Amino acid sequence: MDKGRAFFWLWAVLLIALAGCGQPQPMQVTLRADGQETLLQITAPAMTVRDLLAAVGITLGPRDRVEPDLYYELGDGMTITVTRVTETFETERRPLPFAHETVRNEAIPEGERRLLQPGANGEVEITYKITLEDGVEVAREEVRREVVVEPVNEVILVGVRGELAATPISGTIVYLSGGNAWLMRESSDLRRNVTGSGDLDGRVFALSPDGDRLLFTRAMQGDVDTPLNALWMAWTSLVGEDPVYLGVTGVIWAGWSPDGRQVAYSTARRTGGVPGWKANNDLWLMTLPEEGSKAEVKIRMLLSPSAEFAYAWWGRTYAWSPDGHYIAYGQADQVGLISLADRQIVPLVSFPAYRTRSHWAWTPTVSWTPDGYLLATTIHEGAVGAEAEDSPTFGLWAVGTTGDLRVRLAEEVGMWAGPVWSPAENDLLAYGVATSPDNSQDSRYTLWLMDRDGSNRRKLFPPEGMLGLIAPAPVWSPWGDALLIEYEGNIYRLGIETGRLDQLTGDGQSSHPQWAR
């Protein structure tokens, strides 16, 4: 006997039992449940819907729905409906389409298109929660989506070679464009790509002192448990040699030692909120094996993670000393040194942190003189009538690395002055000056040059008819006779003595220039 018939006979027995009680004025109630509809005659007084369902042996599941509600008393002509509600989960896989990227490239003729990287679809796994009422689907909700195979974007190179004059190049120049590293040697029109992955994030882009190797980071896509990026190295002198993964992830700064045998780096972890990462403020030293050696990379910790200073979540800036014995650091409220011998932190100058009232923090950059005696840096200064942290005033200072000298070289230069000493023995300092020092965060900057003692100041850039720079980060030639600057998405070479300005790129997306012998 099936369940429906069993319930029917059970209800019939109930009808007889109730009718035999001799109670006056029986009620008629219709019960709809489990695909059956039955008419019941009820004579028991003050009976609720819950009582009736219990009497006929209907058990409710946690999601089942009853109309009217269980606490209602039965009434003549009432219809009681039991709806069985169940949930189940279903998983399916779908293709994840790849995106199409177009990269402007000056290494191929204008208008020509070349396939740099073919696209490939990925795959995504989607899990649905399905709601059934009496066995019929009434709702479907996506509850989980996971990429199981990442798509590979199609990358098309489009030639934009224009009328730029070829400029002779001494040494090696590399720069970032379209998520790839590019290289110039001998002439600005002789260039080639060093990488082709299109995913360089620019957090690390550092050329070795001899110009033979390039450090860079490649972005990694994923959730908060996925590292920000991975650290890689490529050879600039070997054409067709694949870059090498160095086994380190989540790197927000890395720099070569002066002899090119070691790399120092600092890390961060990805977060779900703005700005998307939290600096660890650690410092590590990687020793690379000799070329051709089968020895392994050696890594040791210089500084353990720390959050014991203002705006520590943003991180520090760093710079190797010329002799390789120290690393200078800049943080939101201090500039100092880290000794590689005993791993001690030596503060040189402290100042009030700048309150940005936003999801970013200001940290000063640091630059060494070739003799290692002075650091050039930008310091946040107080101002009359302003709280220390809200002051818009930033000065350019020279700080002695032995702690015995602090000299302001220029006033109100702006937060992005970015002073950089020439690596040559000509004792020159390049730095920016904000055109609106009270709003230096958003200001354009002029580029200036001074001697070591602050004398002989002269403006280098911009010439008449051109705008100023945005957050200038000039890069010296190894011989101290020229600078590379980034202007409106292109790289320019600026002669120090002649003032000659040569445009080296024209794709409108070039940045992060580096120059080595």
What confidence tens digit (pLDDT) does each residue in 310-360 have? 999 999 999 999 999 999 999 999 999 999 999 999 999 999 999 998 999
Q: CA-to-CA distance for 288 and 298, rounded, in angstroms?
A: 7
Q: Are 362 and 354 in contact (CB under 8 A)?
A: yes
Shared domain for 219 and 135, answered yes or no, is no
- Cis ω before 392 (30° cut-off from 0): no
Domain interval for residue 42: 3-83
Predicted confidence at residue 18, as pLDDT, reads: 46
In one-letter notation, the amino acid at residue 2 is D
What confidence tens digit (pLDDT) does each residue in 285-317 have? 999 988 766 778 899 999 999 999 999 999 999
For strands 298-303 and 501-503, give the pairing: unpaired
For strands 393-400 and 374-381, give the pairing: antiparallel
Tally of domains within the chain: 3
What confidence tens digit (pLDDT) does each residue in 68-104 have? 999 999 989 999 999 999 999 999 999 988 888 877 7
What's the half-sphere exposure (Cβ side, CA atoms, 13 Å) at 167? 21
Predicted confidence at residue 43, as pLDDT, reads: 81
Q: CA-to-CA distance for 274 and 276, rounded, in angstroms?
A: 5
Average of per-residue pLDDT across 35-52: 87
What confidence tens digit (pLDDT) does each residue in 368-382 have? 999 999 999 999 998
Residue ending a domain, choose from 259, 289, 308: 308
Shared domain for 144 and 216, answered yes or no, is no
Shared domain for 205 and 294, answered yes or no, is yes
- What is the percent of the chain with per-residue pLDDT over 70, rounded to a whole number? 93
Shared domain for 78 and 94, answered yes or no, is no
- Looking at the domain assignment, is residue 377 inside a domain? no
Q: CA-to-CA distance for 335 and 372, rounded, in angstroms?
A: 15
Shared domain for 57 and 137, answered yes or no, is no
The residue behind tokens 């070329």 is: 291
Shared domain for 304 and 240, answered yes or no, is yes
Shared domain for 271 and 208, answered yes or no, is yes
Minimal CA–CA distance to 193: which of 178, 211, 205? 178
284: pLDDT strictly greater than 70: yes
Shared domain for 77 and 92, answered yes or no, is no
> Mean pLDDT in the chain?
90
Residue ending a domain, choose from 83, 98, 121: 83
Predicted confidence at residue 8, as pLDDT, reads: 46
Q: CA-to-CA distance for 302 and 338, rounded, in angstroms?
A: 9
